A and B are shown apart, each in its own frame.
Chain A
Amino acid sequence: MNIKLLFLRLITPRSRPTTLKDRQQQSNNPAFLLLSSIVFLFSLSLLDTIIGWILLLVICSAIIRCAIFFAYQKHIPTLRTLNLLAILSIVGLAYSAWPLGLLITMVNLLVLACALKLMQVRTQRDVYQLITSLFFLIGCGFIFHQSMAYTLLYALLIFGVIIALGFFHAPQVDFKQQLKRTLILTLQALPIGLLLFFLMPQLPPLWQTPKAKSMETGLADKITPGDIAQLSQSSELAFRATFKNQAPMASERYWRAIVMEDFDGRSWQVHSARKQQRQINQFRRQEFSPVLTGSTIDYDVIAEPTQQNWLFGLDIATPLSLKSQGEIWQSADFLLISQQKLHSKYHYSVRSYTQAISAQTTSEFDRQLSLQTPQQGNPRTQKWISQLRAQYPNDQDLIRVLLTNFTQENFVYTLRPKPMFIDPIDVFLFEERAGFCSHYASAMAYSLRLAGIPARIVAGYQGGELVAKPNQEQYLSVYQYDAHAWVEAWDKQTGWQRIDPTAAVAPERITMGLRQAMLDEGSFLADSPFALAKFTNIALFNNLRLFLADMDYNWSRWVIGFDQQKQQALFKRIVGTLTTQRLALLGLAIVSFIAILLGLFFVPHWLRQKPDPMQEWYMRAVKLIESHIGARPSWQGPQDFDNHVNKKLPPTVSQTFADITELYVQIKYRASNDIQSIDSGRRQSLKSIKNAVKRLKKQLKGLPHHKLP
């Protein structure tokens, strides 16, 4: 079947089914085609959540529906077949989806139910069930996707479902008409929906809900610098930060996320003792509180979903708002840890004390974790450090020497280092001398530990793209390719200090970002040739990218990040101080606004419906006559009725009625050639007919009334 035929089929009205039953079972209703594609598209949008065989089932049911629509196939599968299929599917689902967690099982179950229902829709009731579950399913889709693109897709799907629903109630309308009517309906509903959204109270969660288990993204909690795996580069957003005042300098944008203290000679990871300690503290509700001194920066962060608990903050970060304080745990290694894993975009507000890191104290526990080194491996480094230590007993001197070693010995910053499997730090320091941030951080931290200086690796992000527009708060977009690792060392005199060996080797990485640093090598986002972030030198693409980023930022901030706090701020802007009285007035205003809006939609419609006043007066006269001579048969035109009246009623009355009829016929059926004259003539005729009807009423007063036989 080619497209033209399909199109014809969609726009031409279908033959009218003869009975009620036919109508309900009408399988060539285009709504079915629409619903099939909606179920299919929705399943595609959740490709990594929906189990493969359920997707197959969805495709099957869509094909069956299409076959029935195009009359390749006459009968839908029997109820018995479908029930059997349903039982089998439920068993299959219980087997394959149970380990995936409750939420994903539920979503899969719903998709499965929709697919089966689609196959067997027979009655109006089935249609309603299918459509209700589709609405619900698309709503659930927002748990998994919240970006603008997906929101647009789901909005289109919802629109499609409404069109399908319309088709079930007006099957003879062609597609274009249906589209138009649904569009009007949607556009009328949208402002009301938005109004309700912004002004209905935002409630805190009522109870714990099952969360999806899915792939962790973003930072890994284990770094193995020597592995083949290159630093995964992606232009995906990691988080955005909106600054209340001035944003920090580029070289100061170190976003701490994870601290790694366990080193086994090859890879760094979060120490198990640290995890245990954190768990115990959380159990005892003994939250760590850092020493807070110095200048502060306040900002809001909207983190993208990572399926992990790590949050991002500039050193030393503390949760600012009450909501954030309740949801964020501060750990002894100055991390912000979310109580819930980040399944969807998460918004929190932070205050950072930028100079406070040196004022922090440390415990014996921290010291021990930060000094632990493996006995075996990297012998050359061990030897080299013991020599250096003998030469430079002062900690600060040693650190300086180590850093100058990186600058003087022709170390190269690259995103394509050679793999280093055996004694990776030896190989890196004395042979390859090329690597990216984690190579440098790893070598540095190991060296410091060998020298007896407590040191650890901090993983997070460095840099970001600042958008500063007049009249708008500055915001910083941090992407995955801004991921970074640096070293933190403890010294009795200075306290904890941040040491970034990458800054010594490739200062442009810190001040200008990865793109600038990799300009010569050309390895920036080498795996994704079409990433917009690569084409910053083309003005059009860069503007487009920045525009999209800006839209996305506003979307996250105002729609996804809209919460109780923002709502209250909005209320405050509307009514001033928040008193109950004013809020009540606001509520009243909203209700009346919605009523006015609805009135605006429909009043023109009703006005149009009002009958012509001429007609009204004529009908009034007819009614008067009817009460005396009986009802006018529906087939009698005005002239015929006048003749009839002439015979039945005395001449005075019938003459008046004849005048009325003439006036009415003249206006109603006269050919229109001059609008102006018609308009003035009309007004006159209206006056005359009014008088005539009044006269008629008087004349009829004495006459006997008509009685039904």
Chain B
Amino acid sequence: MFLQHYFVNWLDKRIPAANEFSLNHRNIFIFPSKFGLLYLALCSLLFLLGTNYQNNLMLLLCYFLLAVFLVTLLTSYSNFAQLKVKLGRMPEVFAHDEIHLSLWCNADSANSITQHGIVNVGIMGQKMSQWFDADTIDNPLILTYQSQRRGWHTLPRITFSTYYPLGLYKCWTHLAFSRKILVYPKPVSCGVSLQHVSSASNIAHDQHSAHHAVQNNDDFSHLKIYQQGEPLHHVAWKQLAKGRGMYSKQFDGLEHVDMWLLMPTCSSSEVEEQLGKLCHQVQELSRQGHKFGLDLHYLQLSPDTGESHRTACLKALALYPHNYQSSAFAQAAGQ
């Protein structure tokens, strides 16, 4: 355990996190593979046999194989040192979902590939789950792993290894990417419950204000010429199909009123579920293009629409402090 800790620290110093890597002597490890050791055993056997039979050709073969072993050390290294790795864009991740890391290997030098051979890729400390052939690379390489809980995550180190050219050496590296990944709470499906609040300042005290259940399908009011930026699911496809042009359906929504999603006060064991529910509602409301605000007590996001609002909400949910609710709950109980 101590050793592992020491190793991780050492690795952090040796190969600090970065956005993209081109390998060099600082981050490449190289050691004879199992086959390499077998090969050395073969060489010593040939030496013994050649000496005992006083057979110079056998000795010559033995020395030649040794020389090949020596030369491959450098070939192997210089080949692996050509590898350039970049982390691509990542889709949104919800807790306990699979994270798909997209890795771009030798993407810039696609026209003049200088690296060869099969490269195995995997999360450090786990089984190598992916591989690519540097001669016919097919970017991006998707590496999947299980995300844990919501919040900021540093990416695990990713191991690349190759046995090129002859399998005598294993060349490998553990790369850390400096990009952090924000894991959103896992959505828990539920109905949307928005609260109509007169002003944002007194939400906390206005627990019993009238709830206004929002139907998923609002009443349709009229059609309007589609303008870029409006949600696609509001497009009147039927009209478009009939050739009447692109119209956007308008609903008798609640857009004129400030509607808020509210984090209820609850025990710490329920926090995650509540966050999940809120997450689901944020997703749902954004999908429908509603205007809404989010009040998490520790942070309030005023009502808005659009993609940036949605990500802001999700981020706020993801970063909801773990112990915030319990202290608030204790306060409430104390009163």
Contacts and interface: CB of A to CB of B under 8 A. Distances in A.
A and B interact physically:
yes
Interface of A: 13, 16, 20, 23, 128, 132, 135-136, 138-140, 142-143, 146, 151, 154, 158, 162, 165-166, 168-173, 181, 185-186, 188-194, 196-197, 200, 203-209, 344, 559-563, 594, 598, 601-602, 605-606, 609, 631, 634-635, 708-709
B74 A601 contact: yes
| Residue in B64, B88, B180 with the greatest tally of chain A CB atoms within 10 Å | B64
B266 interface: no
Given A189-B68, A634-B19, 12 more contacts: A139-B62, A140-B58, A142-B61, A158-B61, A169-B167, A171-B118, A172-B133, A192-B67, A193-B63, A193-B66, A197-B56, A601-B71
Interface string B52-75: 111111111111111110111011
Contact of B55 (A143, A190, A192, A203): A143
A20 B163 contact: no
B167 A128 contact: yes
A562 B60 CA distance: 11
A132 B38 contact: yes
Nearest to B82: A609
Contact of B165 (A166, A193, A559, A708): A166
A631 B136 CA distance: 30
B59 A197 contact: yes
B68 A162 contact: yes
Nearest to A133: B42
17 contacts: A20-B128, A23-B131, A128-B38, A169-B167, A170-B133, A171-B133, A192-B71, A193-B63, A193-B68, A196-B63, A206-B51, A206-B52, A207-B52, A560-B56, A598-B71, A631-B19, A634-B104
A16 B52 CA distance: 47
Interface core residue of B34, B50, B81 (most chain A CB under 10 Å): B50
A190 B63 CA distance: 9
Contacts of B42: 132, 135-136
Contact of B54 (A172, A194, A563): A563
Contacts of B104: 634
B165 A181 contact: yes
A423 to B, nearest CB: 49
Interface centre among B53, B75, B86, B131 (most CB of A within 10 A): B53
A194 B63 CA distance: 7
Given A559-B60, A634-B20, A609 B70 contact: no
A566 to B, nearest CB: 10
Most buried by B among A128, A146, A561: A128
Contact of B74 (A170, A562, A598): A598
Contacts of A158: 61, 64
Contact of A170 (B35, B87, B116): B116
Contacts of A13: 135-136
Nearest to B118: A169
A516 B82 CA distance: 69
Given A185-B165, A344-B53, A20 B63 contact: no
B56 A562 contact: yes
Contacts of A173: 116, 135
B54 A205 contact: yes
Contact of A16 (B66, B89, B138): B138
Interface in B283-325: none
B110 interface: no
Contacts of B39: 132, 135
Given A140-B49, A162-B68, A172-B133, A151 B165 contact: no
Contacts of A186: 68
B184 interface: no
A151 to B, nearest CB: 6
Contact of B71 (A139, A168, A188, A609): A188
Given A203-B51, A560-B57, A170 B118 contact: yes
A158 B48 CA distance: 19
Contacts of B75: 185
Contacts of B34: 128
B71 A185 contact: yes
B225 interface: no
A146 B82 CA distance: 42
B117 A170 contact: yes
B67 A193 contact: yes
A203 B42 CA distance: 18
B112 to A, nearest CB: 11
A635 to B, nearest CB: 8
A47 to B, nearest CB: 19
B64 A23 contact: no
B49 A209 contact: yes
Nearest to A191: B67
B64 A189 contact: yes
B257 to A, nearest CB: 32
Q: Which residue, of B38, B57, B178, has the highest number of chain A Cβ atoms within 10 A?
A: B57
A138 B59 CA distance: 12
B46 interface: yes
A634 B139 CA distance: 14
A170 B135 contact: yes
A189 B70 CA distance: 8
A600 B71 CA distance: 12
Nearest to B65: A135
Nearest to A207: B52
A208 B48 CA distance: 11
A165 B163 CA distance: 11
A634 B179 CA distance: 12
A205 B51 contact: yes
A146 B57 CA distance: 7
B167 to A, nearest CB: 5
Contacts of A206: 48, 51-52
B46 A193 contact: no
Nearest to A182: B165
Contacts of B87: 634
A172 B135 contact: yes
B179 A631 contact: yes
A32 B292 CA distance: 66
B78 interface: yes
Nearest to A564: B54
A189 B67 contact: yes
Contacts of B131: 20, 23
Given A166-B165, A634-B88, A139 B61 contact: yes
A140 B49 CA distance: 8
A143 B58 contact: yes
10 closest A-B pairs by beta carbon, nearest first, are: A193-B64, A192-B67, A189-B67, A196-B63, A193-B67, A142-B57, A170-B117, A172-B135, A189-B68, A209-B52
Given A165-B167, A559-B60, A16 B68 contact: no
B54 to A, nearest CB: 6
A631 B178 contact: yes
A708 B134 CA distance: 34
B320 to A, nearest CB: 15
Given A23-B118, A185-B75, A193-B63, A151 B166 contact: no
A34 B303 CA distance: 71
Nearest to A347: B54
A197 B63 contact: yes
B19 A16 contact: no
Contact of B136 (A23, A140, A172, A709): A172
Nearest to B135: A172
Contacts of A166: 165-166
A383 to B, nearest CB: 56
B164 interface: yes
Nearest to B76: A169
A173 B116 CA distance: 8
B53 A209 contact: yes
Interface in B76-97: 78, 81-82, 86-89
Contacts of A634: 19-20, 86-88, 104
A139 B86 contact: no
B180 to A, nearest CB: 7
B232 interface: no
A142 B78 contact: no
Contact of B58 (A16, A139, A169, A601): A139
